[in-house]
Amino acid sequence: MIYASGLLMCVGPFSGLVGWVYVPGSVYRSPEIYRKLKDDILSDNSTALEQLSSVWKYKRRPKMPKPCPNSTVSSRLGLTSESSHLIPTGYLIVEANGGLNQQRSAICNAVAVAGLLNAVLVIPQFEFHAIWKDSSTFGDIYDEDHFISSLEGYVKIVRDVPDEIMTRFNYNMSSIPTIRVQAWATVNYYNGEVYPLLKEHGVIRISPFANRLAMSVPPYIQLLRCIANYNALKFSSPISTLAEKLVDRMVEKSSETGGKYVSVHLRFEEDMVAFSCCLYEGGRAEKSEMDVIRQKSWKGKFKRRDRVIRPDLNRVNGKCPLTPLEVGMMLRGMGFDNNTSIYLASGRIYQPEKHLAPLQEMFSRLYTKESLATPEELAPFEGYSSRMAALDYTVSLLSEVFVTTQGGNFPHFLMGHRRFLFGGHAKTVIPDKPKLVLLLQNMDVRWEVFKKEMKLMLGESDRKGVMVPRVRKINRKTSIYTYPLPECECIFHLSSNFSATGNIQNLGALHPTSNLMSTARL
């Protein structure tokens, strides 16, 4: 799927070559605009946001939470706990692939499928991928004991397939029946195609398992996704401990803004720039470098003869990652001044010395996990992209303002988690990139005009932050992971750690991380 999305993002039909004309906004001229407006930007504090807590105006209309639907299989069959303990159909093994949050999606879906099939779920295995290069296991990322205990009474979880089952397959995992399930498979598909095989063999593997369950499922199955995502998946102790320290340090460095800070998911890493098929200001040398990276990581996927790469259209259509400079100009235009503390959630930025310099000019209080943690603290995480992403996820989750600059599972899961914590508001800046690239190519634009447009963009992000889609489509943009309310709201009452004061210290992936945690719902 990542290949397919990349191709759709980067290429168009060969006929696109015919009549190839200039399109406004298609050329990267942001550095020229910045040089022109730099003095105005750096000297302007007239529209600074006095308090970060005043950024968000819209409120979600409170509703009386409904009780959770009964998600036990026995209840769906009309059985009582006193009369019968339903015997599990068999053991379900899944392999989760991708990065941190694609794996997270697979885990939550696996819990839901196990509940649907009345199966015992084996702790999911993580597939090693050449792009992410992370050999972490489930227990390296998440707290296994918490995962198992949180789902008790809903779905039974075991660490390994029992010996009596494995002996039938000579302890060879590849001998276990493996099923390829269609993408976005419906409940009827699982009941009609998968359940009989599970019942026959007593154990099955589903591989791959990315996006293998439809978004639209019965409420008692949807609830299992909610419990898995917001209650059962808590980061492991090494991750949680360091994440707690990073959040506390960001709070300390944000004293002038009441301990509140902005987090930016900056997707301007080398591989993302290459994958996007966008061009910036590096000319032929940059293009050649990106061609080499694409060939190395994705082989010939971007060299089909009947296709042509259109960086200009990618930029106009908002498909290009924002540069650090563009993020800085946007935030200064919205009213965030040089006293604002910013946390960059990112891998290694492409040509960091060059591209981070203007952002640091606009925001001197710029931090990363590398600058907040000591080399000794970060050493156990080096070389493990998912563990690093988990640190970024937690620090971003607890920021007052989250800024997303490119699509992907990370921002969609994070926006959903923030809606879950902050009363239904994502508190997320979602740039209107097609509009932004037009402004950043207009050499006649004045700073006052640019600021006005950025204020409107911030207001639109505020409005959309409390919206709930009327129709759940199959993609992640309208999924329960991005819009968890109202379906997941009832699970606050399932956690013994949740109290009337809103203290959700140990709910889901959260760990006691500073005073922000206990006030996240206030």
pLDDT at residue 20, rounded to an integer:
59
Per-residue pLDDT, 413: 96
Q: Beta strand 307-309 with 157-158: parallel, antiparallel or unpaired?
A: unpaired
Give buried/exposed letters for 325-337 (b at 16+ CB in 10 A, else e).
bbbbbbbbbbbbb
Residue of higher predicted confidence among 288 and 376: 376
**How many whole angstroms separate alpha carbon 160 and alpha carbon 91?**
10
- Residue 449 CB neighbour total at 10 angstroms: 13
Residue 18 pLDDT more than 70?
A: no
Classify residue 51 as exposed, middle or buried by CB count within 10 Å of its CB (0-12, 13-18, 19+). exposed
Cα distances (angstroms) measured from residue 397 to each of 35, 214, 357, 387, 513: 33, 26, 26, 15, 11
The pLDDT tens digits for 98-114 are 899 999 999 999 999 99
**How does residue 494 score in pLDDT terms, banded at 50, 70 and 90?**
low
Per-residue confidence band for 516, with pLDDT thresholds at 50, 70 and 90: very low
What local confidence, expressed as pLDDT, does residue 86 receive? 73
Of the pLDDT bands very low, low, confident and very high (cuts 50, 70, 90), residue 61 is: confident
Confidence (pLDDT) at 281 = 87
**Higher per-residue confidence, 226 vs 486:** 226
- Dihedral of alpha carbons 275, 263, 496, 217, sign: negative
User: Which helix (H) or strand (E) covers residue 73, if one does?
Assistant: helix 73-76
- What would the mean pLDDT of 32-49 be, rounded to a whole number? 87
Three-state SS at 99: coil
Whole-angstrom distance, CA of residue 340 vs CA of residue 362: 10
- Per-residue pLDDT band at 407 (split at 50, 70, 90): confident
Residue 348 has pLDDT above 50, yes or no: yes
Is the pLDDT assigned to residue 418 strictly greater than 70?
yes
Q: 412 forms bridges with which residues in the sheet?
A: none
pLDDT for 347 beyond 80: yes
Torsion angle defined by CA atoms of residues 213, 219, 220 and 222, in that order, rounded to the nearest 10 degrees: 40
* Mean pLDDT taken over the chain: 85
Query: Is 300 or 515 the better-scoring residue by pLDDT?
Result: 300
What pLDDT is stored for residue 47 in this prediction? 58
Is 60 exceeded by the pLDDT of residue 501?
no
Torsion over CA of 272, 276, 281 and 283, rounded to 10 degrees? 110
Mean pLDDT of 341-366: 96
Please state, for a pLDDT cut of 70, what percent of the chain lies above it. Answer: 83
Task: Tell how far CA 485 is from the center of its chain.
Answer: 17
What's this model's pTM, rounded to 2 decimal places?
0.88
C-alpha distance across the termini of the chain, in Å: 39
pLDDT at position 88 over 60 = yes
Q: Are 215 and 479 in contact (CB under 8 A)?
A: yes
pLDDT-based confidence at 69, cuts 50/70/90?
Answer: confident
Checking 438-444 for CB contacts under 8 A at 24+ apart, the result is 438/24, 438/25, 440/25, 440/29, 440/30, 440/33, 440/326, 440/329, 441/24, 441/25, 441/26, 441/27, 441/29, 441/33, 442/33, 443/29, 443/32, 443/33, 443/36
Q: What is the mean pLDDT of residues 305-313?
A: 81
127 versus 140: the higher-pLDDT residue is: 140
pLDDT in tens, 213-236: 999 899 999 999 999 999 999 999
- Determine which of 105-114, 376-385, 491-500 has the lowest per-residue pLDDT on average: 491-500
Q: What is the pLDDT of residue 296?
A: 84
Do 294 and 10 meet the contact criterion of CB atoms below 8 Å apart?
no
Q: Is the pLDDT of residue 344 over 90?
A: yes
Distance from C-alpha of 291 to C-alpha of 281, rounded to nearest angstrom: 15
For the residues 125-135, what does the mean pLDDT come to? 77
Task: Report pLDDT for 57.
Answer: 92
Helix (H, G, I), strand (E, B) or coil at 125: strand
Which pLDDT does position 76 carry in this prediction? 46
Distance CA 150, CA 156 (A): 10
E strand spans, 132-243: 157-158, 178-179, 203-206
pLDDT in tens, 151-185: 999 999 999 999 999 999 999 999 999 999 999 99
How many Cβ atoms from other residues are within 10 Å of residue 464's Cβ? 13
Give residue 130's pLDDT band: very low, low, confident or very high (50, 70, 90). Answer: low
Burial 226-243 (b: 16+ CB within 10 A, else e): bbbbbbbbbbbeebbebb
Residues 6+ apart with CB under 8 A from 417: 229, 230, 397, 484, 508, 509
Partners of 121 in beta bridges:
92, 157
Q: Which has the closest alpha carbon to 427: 395, 461, 390?
A: 461
Band of residue 134 on the pLDDT scale cut at 50, 70, 90: confident
